[in-house]
Each structure stands twice: as structure tokens, then as C-alpha cells.
Amino acid sequence: MRTLAPLALVVLWTTAGCVVQGRQALPTEVGEDPPAPPSGPRLKIVVGKVANQSPYQRGIFSDGVDRLGGQARAILKTRLSKTGRFDLFDRDHADETAAEARLSGAPQQLAGAELLVSGAVTEFGRRETGAQALGGILAQSKTQTAYAKVSLNLVDVRTSRVLRSYQGAGECDLTNGGALGFGSTAGYDSTLVDKVLDLAVQEAVKKFVAALDQGELSENKER
């Protein structure tokens, strides 16, 4: 028994000190319906400014960088591109594309857009709620919830007239629970911000595409 004790300590120390690393590819979208086949004309659009107009991250301690608005703008560009209904122009990297055109020896031929899509995150919030059984001794759980609402404006670049406005809203939650002192008690999951913004933008873009399918945008542009 005396000879086995040091051996057990060595095994325990080795096991506690080891690091296990794992990796796996994760799906970028879960539970979404496949996009409908593109039909009708493709509009030439460019994405303008998307600003955070909610109180979130705009307090006295804010550094003035609109991270939420920039995040919503990046998601908007992705969602518009995935519909297959638009020719989306990128103005954010004009200097880089111009430099590449010069290197290739070909003149750069920029095309103009028909519509400008701008918008704002008008509402954003998050909260945590919990539930306990027998004062938390038997079981406890915590639900993290994030809510967002976005507004999109479609502007005719020739007249600067706002043709249509669409809103989209979404709510995402995550519940962690435990029983008898075991289970997950994770802190706030920051990925809920990405998920709820994506959901809200997706809902607004769906309304945009539906109006395009019904010919409403063409009617507005001819007026």
C-alpha cells in the first residue's frame, strides 16, 4: 500500500495538469429555411449608415465607437446578399479596389446603385431572470434574454426620397440550470447580441424582398 500511494499521487498530478484541446466546425446558421429561388429583377443597391439609436452602449462611459451599429450593418450586407435579389456594391473598400485596378492595368469602372439602404437599431436590451427551488439548494436556473428592433429605409439615389421603411424585431434567450449544486452557471453570453441582431435584420429584409416581389418598389420609383 505504501508503494502504491506515491504512484497514485503522480497519476493524479499528471491528470490534473494535462490540457485537452478539441476543435470542430460549427454551422453558421441553425433552423433556417432555405432561401427561395430568385425571381424578378435584381436591384442595384448600396448599404449606407446603420446607427445605434438605442440607449445600449451610449452611456457617459461610452468611447464613442458605434459597435452595435457597425455590427448590424455587417449583418445587413450579408442578409441582403444571401437573398440573391440584389447587386450589392461595396463602397467601404474603394481605395483598395482602386489600387488593385491600377496594379492590373485596367481602368476602374464603378457602377452606380439604384437604391441606398440605411437604417438604425432603434431598440436593444438584455435581461437576466432566475428561478430557484427550495432556496436554490435543490435546483436553480438563469435565463439570459436579448431583444432588438431595427428599422431600414430604402432611398432613391436620384431623388433622395425615402421609398419605403421596414422594421424587424427579434428576441433570443438562453437558459442555464443546475440541480443539487451541479450544472451550468455561465455568465452573460455575448453571442446573444449577434443572434438577436441577425434575427431582427433578417425579419426586416424579408419584408423588403416581399415588397419587391409584389412590385411595390417599382411603383414607388415611377412616381
Mean pLDDT (the chain) is 77
Instruction: Quick: pLDDT tens for 76-113.
Output: 999 999 998 999 988 888 888 888 888 888 888 888 88
Beta strands in 92-196 (DSSP E): 115-133, 139-156, 162-179, 182-183
Q: Which residues contact 51 (CB under 8 A, 6 or more apart)?
A: 66, 69, 119, 120, 121
- For residues 135 and 176, give the distance between their C-alpha atoms in angstroms, rounded to a whole number: 17
Per-residue pLDDT, 32 = 58
Residues of the chain with confidence (pLDDT) below 50 = 7-21, 30, 134, 136, 178-184, 186
Taken in order 115, 118, 123, 126, the sign of the CA dihedral is: positive
Which CATH architecture fits 42-222? 3-Layer(aba) Sandwich (3.40)
Per-residue pLDDT, 24 = 60
Per-residue pLDDT, 211 = 87
183 beta partners:
178
- Where helices occur in 18-87 by DSSP H, the ranges are 67-82
Domain positions in the chain are 42-222
Length of the chain: 223
Best CA proximity match to 29, nearest among 81, 86, 79, 80: 79
Per-residue pLDDT, 72 = 94
Per-residue pLDDT, 10 = 44
pTM, entire model: 0.74
- For residues 86 and 42, give the distance between their C-alpha atoms in angstroms, rounded to a whole number: 5
